[in-house]
Structure 1
Amino acid sequence: MITDKQTILLAKGGIKGWGNNHFKSSTNRTPYKKTNGTLGEKKFINLELLLIADVGLIGLPNVGKSTLINIITSAKPKIDIYPFTTIIPQLGVVYIEKKTFIIVDIPGITKNSSKGHGLG
């Protein structure tokens, strides 16, 4: 899955069966009948999670997230004095001795960000 809210059918379900309630009538209020449904597909699926970063910096606007990325990596995100300078995530690679990891600068989090308000 590559895009947001993308759906993929991995296995088709079976056909439902009918339970007691389906067979209820005016003369038989508590039937003990059922029909079996059919089984769906059975598959073994191996999913792999692809991460874009090892570390994410989150926080309020204008707290220095981009400045930190600028100092500890070779990335050069736009830095300015007004809020929401960062509007798309910025990636940087941190090199420590013989190891590396990817750090991402996320746009500022504000009240109701989870509801689509602001840019975070």
Structure 2
Amino acid sequence: MAKFVTIGYGDQDGYDRTDAAVRDEAHAHDARLIEGGATAGIAGVPVQVRNHDGAGVRVERGAFMSSELPVAGFGIIEADTLEEAIELVSKTPCAVAQGVVEVWPLREAP
């Protein structure tokens, strides 16, 4: 079974505009994914780490990437195909509450 990294983007306004029953079912779906072995979490404040040429570590607070919506959370899921992974994340809170979820196939390092 393949692994996929998921990145959910969304904001409180979009979440609040989504019907409570839809949000509740999305949270229940997340709970089922986690019970099935997925890893999921809410995004905290990021830092950027650099150590160019091994010459010294430099750390900056804040995200490197930018998007219209803030990063809301991350997950690692297993699915047989990309299509199955898409189906799984299509029912998560970020996907249903006016946000978006990226699905990245994860190749394990050798």
TM-score clears 0.5: no
> Which is richer in helix?
2
> Which is richer in strand?
2
Q: State the TM-score, normalized to the length of structure 1.
A: 0.23
Q: State the TM-score, normalized to the length of structure 2.
A: 0.24
